[in-house]
Amino acid sequence: MSDSTAIAQGASAGAAPHGEHPSYQRHHFETVGQQFDATNFAMWIFLLTEVMFFGGLFTSYLIMRNWYYRAFVEGSHQLSILWGTANTTVLIISSFTMAMAVWSAQMRRKGALLLFLGLTFLLGIAFLGIKGIEWHEKWVKHHVPGIHQYSEQAFLNPASDPEVFKEYHDKPLSPGMAQKTEEYFFLYFAMTGMHALHMVIGVCLLVYIFIRARTGAYTNGHFTFVENFGLYWHFVDIIWIFLYPLLYLISRY
């Protein structure tokens, strides 16, 4: 390379006329490939941020669980393993349908894309619905700390809650430890709440993507947004993959 090719010397502005680029290429990128790479990489960096965001919650959980293990065990027994497992399954299947949606966009199949986006949306709604049922149950049982007069009855006297008692035969907790079940439920609501918030954002974005997909916006070879949204959706799935054993499966035997 010689100096004659160097920077900004002479040369007229606007080397390439605009018509050469596809309409979805933003002006400051040189090629479509660069645009895809950059936005995809940006999404990954954002997910890193999200990992650390949940990281703070997981750290708190770890410390509290080690300190108040009995309270965490009995708090966990109050969760429905049926709903929890069902929700895990729903979310994993939704991850699959999302992956298929990305595949459909890559293969430029509009019908399949709409189908899988729709399925993902429905599974997302189903997840939130089940979450709502579970939360409502906690509300009724006065297991929502901070807002709704917390009741330690089920932990001071497990027999008062026959449904759970029948299955686990928990021994009564000391009053001090029974109070710590509030910590468990605080973390339960903080973690599942933060996760559900991400789900809600995801579902809203899905609606937006679905509407745009109907106009063929993602089946013309430019599927970056679907791909990046897919990454987000899978990430939310991964968070749940960890929340499920940590919150539901503490010592079920």
Partner 1 sequence: MSAATIVTLPDQATARIPKMNFLTKENGLLSWLLTGDHKRIATLYLISITFFFFIGGALAGLIRLELLTPQNDLVAADTYNKLFSMHGLIMVFFFLVPSVPATIGNFLMPMMVGAKDLALPKINLLSWYLYVIGGLMMLWTMCVGGVDTGWTFTTPLSTHYLNTHVVSAAMSVFVAGFSSILTGLNFIVTIHKMRCPGMTWFRLPLFVWSNYAASILMVLGTPVLAITLTLVALERIFHIGVFDPAFGGDPLLFQHLFWFYSHPAVYIMILPGFGVISEVISTFSRKRVFGYTAVAFSSVAIAVFGFFVWAHHMFIMGISNYSALVFSLLTMLVAVPSAIKIYNWAFTLYKGSITFETPMLYAIGFMGLFTIGGLTGVFLGATGTDIHLTETYFVVAHFHFVMVGGMLMSFLAGIHFWWPKWTGRMYPEKISQLAALTTFIGFNLTFFPQFILGTLGMPRRYAAYPPEFQVLNVFSTAGATVLGIGYLLPILYLTWSLKYGAIAGDNPWHATGLEWQTQSPPLTENFPEIPIMDHEAYDYEWLERMERKEVASV
Partner 2 sequence: MSEPNAHNEQGAEHEPHIVSPGTYAIILLVLLVATATTCGMSYIDLGEWHIAINLFGWHVGTTLFWNPVVALAIACTKMTLVVLFFMHIKYSSKLTKLTVISGFFIFLGLISMTLADYVSRAWGRW
Query: Which residues of this chain interact with partner 1, rule CB under 8 A?
Result: 1-3, 5-9, 11-13, 15, 26-28, 30, 34, 37-39, 41-42, 45-46, 48-50, 52-57, 59-60, 63-64, 67-68, 145-147, 150, 179-180, 182-183, 186-187, 190, 194
User: Is residue 179 within 8 Å of residue 152, measured between CB atoms?
Assistant: yes
Q: In the bound complex, what is the minimum distance in angstroms from residue 25's beta carbon to partner 1?
A: 12
Nearest to partner 1 of 57, 238 (CB atom): 57
CA distance 76 to 70: 10
Nearest to partner 2 of 174, 251 (CB atom): 251
Interface pick for partner 2 out of 22, 26, 33, 129 (rule CB under 8 A):
33
Q: Name the 3-class secondary structure at 109.
A: coil
Q: What angle do CA 74, 184, 136 make, to 5 degrees?
A: 85
* Chosen from partner 2, partner 1, none, partner binding at 183 (C-beta under 5 to 8 Å by type): partner 1
Nearest to partner 2 of 181, 228 (CB atom): 228
The reply to whether 231 sits near partner 2 by the rule CB under 8 A is: yes
What is the DSSP secondary structure assignment for residue 174, as one 8-state letter?
Answer: P
Q: Cα 59 to the chain's mean position, in Å?
A: 18
CA distance 155 to 135: 18
The reply to whether 22 sits near partner 2 by the rule CB under 8 A is: no
Interface pick for partner 2 out of 22, 40, 133, 208 (rule CB under 8 A):
40
Q: How far apart are the first and last CA of the chain?
A: 72
* Matching residue, tokens 């759970």: 164
* Chosen from partner 1, partner 2, none, partner binding at 100 (C-beta under 5 to 8 Å by type): partner 2
* Kind and range of the H or E run holding 137: helix 110-140
The reply to whether 42 sits near partner 2 by the rule CB under 8 A is: no
Q: How far is CA 195 from CA 13, 21, 239, in A?
A: 49, 39, 7
CA distance 251 to 76: 8
Interface pick for partner 2 out of 24, 83, 103, 150 (rule CB under 8 A):
103
The region of 16-24, 94-102, 150-158, 197-205 touching partner 2 under the rule CB under 8 A is 94-102
Q: How far is CA 106 from CA 133, 224, 244, in A?
A: 37, 9, 32
Question: Which residues here bind partner 2, judged by CB under 8 A?
Answer: 30-31, 33-34, 36-37, 40-41, 44-45, 47-48, 51-52, 55-56, 58-59, 62-63, 66, 81, 85, 88-89, 92-93, 95-96, 98-100, 103, 106-107, 227, 230-231, 234-235, 237-238, 241-242, 244-246, 248-253
